[in-house]
Amino acid sequence: MWIYLNDRFVDRKAAVVSVFDHGFLYGDGVYETLRAYGGRIFMLQQHLSRLQRSGHLIGLDLPIPEKDWPALLNEAIGRNGLMDAYIRITVSRGEGEIGLDPGLCKHPTVVIVALPPQSYPPHLFRVGVKLIISRVSRNLAAALPPRIKSLNFLNNILAKQEALQSGAFDALMLNVEGHVTECTTSNLFFVRTGRLCTPSIACGILDGITREVVLLLAQEQGIPVEEGAYTVEALRQAKECFLTNTSMEIMPACQVDHLPVGSGRPGPLTIRLQELFRSNLARFLG
Ligand code: PLP
């Protein structure tokens, strides 16, 4: 396996990072997860812009200019003999002496990993996944903004552990006002009173790129869409519910806190959006 590390592609065994890297010591860094279909990357420009934004929000200048990323990502896929791929870009603050001052790190560390796409058990897409409402609140936007896609992932890991301990697929986190936000690596959608609802960015979520595509597809089809602040009670009235992210695309959710959502099976709008996503995919490939 070829991995890009800082300025060249190296074999997996040689792809090692210093124990003084501030990504390792402090979770100081940013990342992106992308997906390629048939050798073409989904929403490439949007992912690169978000990476740039995340870096900017933590005062980290990406050492690779935006125009050079596509060739590197394509090389990462090609060298590993992949057409369909999961690609992860990690940019950490880099190696430096102990201490929080980012100035201690002279050069950010850049890693690009390309792997076969993550596979989810196919039956999950047919029957839907189970969610719990987490006791762990989503990070406060005024403390660690969820729109920074940072290496600092403990907030989500604590919630994920809670989900796994209770036999659920994932945990839905609430913000401090008690409004639903997102799951640990995905955005939330639900259908209520004939509308496709999703928590607004202001609720303190990552502005997911799959979320953006789903909203666009729904609007193009004249499906009523609403972004807002929703309580758990509002979610309980949902007839359908699903999650979105780059790896899963659209994943139906059939249960929240052991109660069925609607009929307890993937609903018609969820299935329609899954089909629309697939049939429109080529429009979104770079
Ligand atoms: N929310 C969180 C916390 C995430 O980590 C992710 C993806 O990793 C998403 C939402 C979905 O984002 P995207 O659709 O851009 O993959």
Question: Total structural domains in the chain?
Answer: 2
**Claim to verify: residue 42 and residue 111 sit in the same structural domain:** yes
| pLDDT recorded at residue 214 | 98
Q: Say whether both 144 and 259 belong to one domain.
A: yes
Rounded to two decimals, the pTM is 0.97
Q: What's the CA gap between 4 and 92, in Å, rounded?
A: 14
Q: Is 182 in the pocket of ligand 1 (CB under 6 A)?
A: yes
User: Do 129 and 267 fall into the same domain?
Assistant: yes
Q: What is the pLDDT of residues 187-239, one digit of tens each?
A: 999 999 999 999 999 999 999 999 999 999 999 999 999 999 999 999 999 99
Interval between CA 244 and ligand 1 midpoint (Å) = 8
Instruction: Measure the CA dihedral 237/238/239/242, to 10°.
Output: -160
pLDDT, position 123: 96
- 136/108 same-domain check: no
> Residues with Cβ < 8 Å from 196, sequence gap 6 or more?
189, 190, 218, 223, 224, 225, 226, 269, 273
The per-residue pLDDT for 137 is 98
Rounded alpha-carbon distances, angstroms, from residue 52 to 37, 44, 149, 171, 284:
23, 12, 10, 28, 20
Atom of ligand 1 nearest to the CA of 247: 16
Q: Which DSSP category does 281 fall into?
A: G
Listed residues 46, 81, 115: the one ending a domain: 115
- Same structural domain, 86 and 175: no
Please identify, by atom number, the ligand 1 atom nearest to the C-alpha of residue 146. 3
Which residues contact residue 49 at a Cβ distance below 8 angstroms, ignoring those fewer than 6 apart?
66
Q: Does residue 235 sit in the same domain as residue 190?
A: yes
Token output for 221: 């089809």
| Residue 43 structural domain | 2-115
Last residue of a domain, one of 99, 115, 131: 115
- Identify whether residues 43 and 91 lie together within a single domain: yes
Q: Quote the CA–CA distance of 74 and 171 in Å, as a whole number.
A: 34
Q: Which two tokens stand for residue 170?
A: 């994932």
- Residue 79: predicted pLDDT: 98
Q: What is the pLDDT of residue 203?
A: 98
Query: In the chain, which stretches have pLDDT less than 70?
Result: none
10: domain CATH number? 3.30.470.10
User: Which residue, of 84, 115, 146, is where some domain finishes?
Assistant: 115
CA of 146 to the centre of ligand 1 (A): 10
Q: Compute the distance from residue 33 Cα to the ligand 1 centre, in Å.
A: 8
State the pLDDT at residue 75.
Answer: 98
The catalytic site residues sit at 149
- Residue for token digits 């989900």? 163
Do 138 and 222 have their domain in common?
yes
- 3-state SS of the chain: helix, strand, coil percent to 5? 35, 30, 35
* pLDDT for the residue numbered 143: 97
* Whether residue 265 sits in one domain with residue 153: yes
Closest C-alpha to ligand 1, atom 10: 186
Which atom number of ligand 1 is nearest to the Cα of residue 43? 15
